[in-house]
Structure 1
């Protein structure tokens, strides 16, 4: 018996027996530890005399029925409320029969499960709190088991999917729920491709690790996040992002409106500016006295300054909107630098300072990159240096960087060549505490600079952003009274052998850039711009015809007279893009070079013009030299002309 008592303690309970009348005949000594009552107190008492607490009438009746029917029972739970608290018990028993199948009584075991019940109660309370939290949260919550059957979801989740919410009951299959939603048009993206959409949605759900956006029939947008648990079940959240999407769409609309405004402003400002600069350049080539030459030079200088300001403002707006794209053209680096430095020579001479350019690169170096942006960077750096230098010199040095250990710190995207551009001056210098600020938009070293030298304060900000966009870095070394040195590192791709060869063929020859006389058709609705273009072409020795719109250009191209067409973009009746497409559809127009003329200075727009069938694009206002360079760069027109002789 001592051994039995030991077993009773090990199970945290006691053993018991009854007779055939269900009166207790035996209880192990351990019952006293749990009830405070000795075994003898129970002897002779019926089980029915000792109804415990915490039992519903229904469960008590079932228990008594089991006893009367001599059926075994297992884990019948009850409790006893005592002065020191509530104690929970679980009892199990089996009937005992002799060899004649006569009922002798019950034999069983009772265990103390108070700690388990307390843990279970805490778990139930935690579950209830969790369910309450899930119900009041603003996000939809759903839980599917490993077989894709619904375990639970909150009311917010059902609210998001009203057309299929009637199926959202425990045990419902995920596939059945989404198919019902698709059938009732709950998912606009599924219309017309229902089965394909269902398969895609099932794949996303089964992957168990996804964050996607979902549009609903009522116009709402949800961010749908799903995470697979270790047992294969899937927990999902639905967050209403409708306001965010509306704000995003409004921002995109505003950005598009801003881009359209910038495009329009670019066109409307550059078009008359082309007339001012073009006519001033033509006037400068006539017989003028010294006073007249000086005044014309002032017009040209002021126009170029205005153009630079326009470029800076438009480019800064594009940079802020993340819409500035880079071009990738083959070009001669020494040649480009030379064309940039030359115009500044007269400015330096006027101020009585020296402008020097040092080429520490191969004179035949041909690379690939955005010539427009590189020109803009060097133009701003040289312009600043000359503007703020009253005596001494300005030095531009171009150097090929080789073998630097910290090359990764100098560029964000290393390429075939790393070129260092250094612009150093002997000007007033910059205070140490102002060095970083000079790269901020609309910022200058001090407020007196604007009054003395002019400018928007955008130039260096543009420089920094363009260099960053091109994958390079820029730094400045300066001290008050000791001048300033800007050092820019820019990566470039090397031109392939065939690209270099083609560039050499297209480059200006020793006989000049005008080439063989051509028949050139100008499609331009602005009379002043047409006069300027014709005057430049007349100087080159070309024959010119002029039409006022795209429709007339298409008709004129059918005559097979023109060797080349200069096509304005914005024209009445038919624009330049549509006219180019129409010409390309004719047999004669398949090979004729068409060069776009536009006041839109954005690379994405230029790319659209090229895609329409133009071979090149020239931005207004353009100079005589730029027009000559463009004709030379498209020298294939000469081969077409010679084929007619």
Structure 2
């Protein structure tokens, strides 16, 4: 039947082609006749014009030398017709391949037309002579017109014949193509038969493959469950039976929700609702997640679910779920997570231990150095003087090593917040501080700050920037003799409102660093002493090997990378590039020292306002200020401090930074705006890192900063320095009284770092115990908030941090600071780990507070 239909279709195609050829010839013959009429009409119109001219001459003879109006109008019309006919003739003859003689005649006819037009336009009804000449010229062109008509007809005849021959070729080709196509169709039919047989074979193969897939489906280790969109199980495999501990017959036809824990049934129903919504939009629903499943015995276990939607053979939507039991995997992951948490805790403990030991070692070293400085070297003999010099140099190197270790621990573990600062000002302060040491070695430090934006304030890490620059310049000062040290800050501004790019370089004329050492010197405790100048080797100032690692950490903290260019004997260049966002609405303009009121004579009592939101801090600060002989007023937040400062004149304001209602920065700005304390000395007393970088607080109107815990002698020294700057006192700073120490006596100090003797000496034993209990209560509030991942964790940690620092619980304060930073950064994992560490420290401190009577008795 297929072949018969193809054959009949081919015959119909041939008959239709022949019929179309016949009709096309008829149309072509009509077109040829029309073109022949156009060519022949040229001669007719020429003869009509000749007759019209002769009629006009005849009417002129009859009318006494004047052409009648009717004859003249007829002449004009016949000329217009002849003129138009020439244009039509030209249009019909515009084709390629015309004989050369015919083309010449056509060109001549165009010239005849133009001349006749010029003549007839110049003639009038009474110009008989001109009309005779016009008629004579017109009759002379009769042969030209005859030749053109004859040649034109011949051209059309030739073209028609050529067209018929081309068409015959086309139709012959068409017939050949038809036969070829018919042959191809026949061949295709043969192939169709063969493909039908192959399809039968492939169908058998597909059935075998389906059987294999079914076996694989049944043997799969993952449970495969197929359901409709109402949650009814259509089929499942053997693994589902094993996983859920239910027979396949019982699973099939049941509600899939019975395989999920009750608390997840609502979530599963929402998944089916989503599948129906996507199916209405002809979109697939793919789900891949971890969840929980329920065995028939009520056991809940973790699974990995991969869900996709499709349609079955009847076009009905189905959901195919692949479920894998991951109980063993989750158990292993929990074990790894616990190991990681333990490793982090160990690292934190290590860092805390190193920082604590370094901090504790500085106190006896400072005492040793101070004692050595008080010894009269001139009273010693030569041998004793040499031993004295050795002891002094060793103590200085030990102190430098301890400071470097503490700084490295702090740089690698501390989370420094971003604040506004001026890189140019910090660079100027670093250069000013190190210039005296440079002059001792015959060096000169040159600071160059260039580029747009050099005087702007930026957001970043001022402590890290200061550490990196100080270490680089300090190294250059130590290892250069009688040379120049260039500190260059180059600012660039790629986008007018975008961040600033800062390139920092420190170039010295020292001994240089060998190529083999350029990577090694950035590692811990590595130095390059092979080519140091003589003065550094002689004095032992070849470094501890921590300066450059600290610098590398600080630069990486700022998003840069420390680089080194060096050549032996010619010096070294350390440099790095960083990008710093602009601080909105502020420019780094040096703040002038405010003019103060008339100096208060030495010995006059100051009015001091202490501002803090923590009762423990207020109690201790009030006691210290009163011991120094000044009057004290307390404020519990920044707003209360502003109100008091506007109503009463205070000489000094001790301002906490982070407080509720109004923080210390805002309060300081408000006090500087108006009121009686516009010119008071404001000293920040904070546990924040900003207190260690007072540059970040100067723009808020704060003159200087103290870091909690603040000891009595530290506060006394700072107030003495304030008095010195105001010209109110002279001489040496207040000496430490007998028995006073910035650290507790050994008998009163426990494992948790509690300095109860010093605290009790300041505020009394009972008050000290009450302050410690209040501090522990604040810390426990922070601990509960950290475990609950609450919003106020950072605020509670900061509140407890201030109290812990003031009473001398430095380990507790350091941990609370880490909790505050983790809460601000949203680091939930770190909060979990820090909560465990905080719990251990609180237990240790609580044990020491409980044992305080025994400690006191023991000390007695």
* TM-score range relative to shorter protein: 0.5 to 0.7
In structure 2, which of residues 493, 499, 504 is the aligned counterpart of residue 421 of structure 1? 504
1:460 aligns with 2:548: yes
Q: Distance in 1 between matches of 2:248 and 2:202?
A: 40
Structure holding more strand per residue: 1
For residues 519-568 of structure 1, give each alpha carbon's deviation from its aligned partner in whole angstroms, at most 9, with x where no partner exists.
Answer: 488749999954444444445459x9998179969998xxxxxxxxxxx9
1:335 aligns with 2:425: yes
Equivalence for 1:372: 463
Q: Distance in 1 between matches of 2:250 and 2:520?
A: 60
Equivalence for 2:169: none
1:175 aligns with 2:257: yes
Equivalence for 1:395: 486
In structure 2, which of residues 422, 428, 443 is the aligned counterpart of residue 353 of structure 1? 443
Change (3 A) 1:118 1:259: same
Alignment of 1:448-527 (within 5 A): 455=543, 457-497=545-585, 509=594, 517=606, 519=608, 523=620
Higher relative contact order (CA 8 A, sep 6+): 1
Contact 1:415 1:491 in 2 (8 A): no
Q: Distance in 2 between matches of 1:534 and 1:283?
A: 24
Q: Distance in 1 between matches of 2:526 and 2:293?
A: 48
Change (3 A) 1:445 1:262: same
Q: Distance in 2 between matches of 1:459 and 1:220?
A: 55
Equivalence for 1:266: 355
Deviates most, 242-251 or 522-531: 522-531
Q: Distance in 2 between matches of 1:458 and 1:345?
A: 22
Equivalence for 2:411: 315
Report the CA distance between 1:377 and its aligned residue: 1.5
Report the CA distance between 1:120 and its aligned residue: 0.9
Contact 1:394 1:423 in 2 (8 A): yes
SS of 2:405's partner is helix
TM-score, with normalisation over the residues of structure 2? 0.41
Contact 2:238 2:248 in 1 (8 A): no
For residues 315-356 of structure 1, give each alpha carbon's deviation from its aligned partner in whole angstroms, at most 9, with x where no partner exists.
Answer: 33x3xxxxx533122223333223333343343334333333
In structure 2, which of residues 304, 312, 333 is the aligned counterpart of residue 224 of structure 1? 304
Contact 1:550 1:575 in 2 (8 A): no
CA RMSD of superposed structures (Å): 5.8
Q: Distance in 2 between matches of 1:154 and 1:243?
A: 27
Q: Distance in 1 between matches of 2:480 and 2:552?
A: 21
Q: Distance in 2 between matches of 1:282 and 1:541?
A: 27
SS of 1:241's partner is helix
Report the CA distance between 1:255 and its aligned residue: 0.8
Q: Distance in 1 between matches of 2:406 and 2:558?
A: 21
Specify the structure having the higher radius of gyration (Cα). 2
Question: How many positions carry a matched residue from both structures?
Answer: 447
Q: Distance in 2 between matches of 1:572 and 1:304?
A: 34
Equivalence for 1:344: 434
Structure holding more helix per residue: 2
Q: Distance in 1 between matches of 2:511 and 2:321?
A: 66
Contact 2:498 2:581 in 1 (8 A): yes
Change (3 A) 1:170 1:595: closer
Q: Distance in 1 between matches of 2:518 and 2:713?
A: 47
For residues 448-507 of structure 1, give each alpha carbon's deviation from its aligned partner in whole angstroms, at most 9, with x where no partner exists.
Answer: 99997655545434433433332334332223333221221122222222x669x977x8
Contact 1:336 1:375 in 2 (8 A): yes
Change (3 A) 1:154 1:490: farther
Change (3 A) 1:224 1:579: closer
1:605 aligns with 2:817: yes
Alignment of 1:207-218 (within 5 A): 208-214=285-291
In structure 1, the gaps of 5 or more residues are: 7-110, 184-189, 319-323, 408-413, 557-567, 583-589, 613-645
Report the CA distance between 1:124 and its aligned residue: 0.9
Change (3 A) 1:223 1:202: same
Q: Distance in 1 between matches of 2:763 and 2:440?
A: 48
Equivalence for 2:759: 548
